[in-house]
Structure 1
Amino acid sequence: MSCSLDDKPIDVADILNRLKKLSAAEEFFVTLGVSFDPKILSVARLHIMKRMGEYLKTEDFDGLPDSIVAARAKATLQRAYTDFENSSPLRQRVFQVLKDHDPDRPVPPKTAFVALDDILAPLPKG
């Protein structure tokens, strides 16, 4: 099953303010006219939206007409969604917790150092 919106033009008026008011991932896809597979979105919605946010940080929309802003936002969402079409959230590692626990990047062993004098010192009376 796929939710296709290709035949419906998107409303570009005041697009940035409208996007700021959205909360559900599906709302972003519908508003920007990006097709999606509900199965992919159900597994990776937060990851897709986080990735879209990372991509949007590189954009400068100041002074641009709404049509350009809408086109760039749509392309950004499509790019973020495409990252997860044939990959998984574990492979993409968008969130810091996943980056920190990458099994392909072994954690260097940590050692604790206790001086011999500290071990042999008498315990404080208390």
Structure 2
Amino acid sequence: MNPILQRIQSFSAAEEFLDFFKIEYEPSVVHVNRLHILKRFNQYLSRNPIPEDADETSAFETCRQYLTQAHDDFVKSTAADEKVFKVFQDQSSKSISLDSMKISLSTRGQKA
């Protein structure tokens, strides 16, 4: 495994990744989307893995590019729109109207 990838395995917070790769970020975006950003970063790495023989500088720059893009995805969009996690993917075709919620709640109240 590339030394850069080995090093970042010990990181746990999105800010650690962003600071390590010297990426300027919007704290409010990271605060709300930290898991989404890291998941997207991982998706980018999975789609285009760092070659085993890549030097550290190349690996660093590639990771930096992927993480920057992952962060920027959520600056321009929302977690619900990006659908990184399955819960958002499953909800894309389902919508619940306010009227159906009112009916459901009133029905539950009658049973109690």
TM-score, normalized by length of structure 2?
Answer: 0.78
Higher relative contact order (CA 8 A, sep 6+): 2
**CA offset at residue 86 of structure 1?**
1.7
For 2:8, the aligned partner's letter is L
For 1:93, the aligned partner's letter is K
Query: How big is each residue's C-alpha offset from its partner over 1:13-71, in whole Å with a ceiling of 9 and x where there is no partner?
Result: 93221111111100000001111010000011100100000000022321110000000
CA separation in 2, counterparts of 1:17 and 1:60?
A: 12
* Residue 31 in structure 1 maps to residue 20 in structure 2: yes
Q: What's the secondary structure of 1:53's corresponding residue? A: helix
CA separation in 2, counterparts of 1:73 and 1:27?
A: 13
Partner residue in 2 for 1:93: 83
Alignment gaps of 5+ in structure 1: 1-12, 108-126
Partner residue in 1 for 2:38: 49
CA separation in 2, counterparts of 1:48 and 1:84?
A: 7
CA separation in 2, counterparts of 1:72 and 1:29?
A: 13
CA separation in 2, counterparts of 1:31 and 1:60?
A: 17
Partner residue in 1 for 2:60: 70
Report which of the two has the higher share of helix: 2
TM-score, normalized by length of structure 1?
Answer: 0.69
Runs of 4 or more above 6 Å deviation:
none
**CA offset at residue 97 of structure 1?**
1.0
Q: What's the secondary structure of 1:57's corresponding residue? A: helix
Q: How many residues align?
A: 93
Alignment gaps of 5+ in structure 2: 96-112
Identity %: 30
Query: How big is each residue's C-alpha offset from its partner over 1:1-23, in whole Å with a ceiling of 9 and x where there is no partner?
Result: xxxxxxxxxxxx93221111111
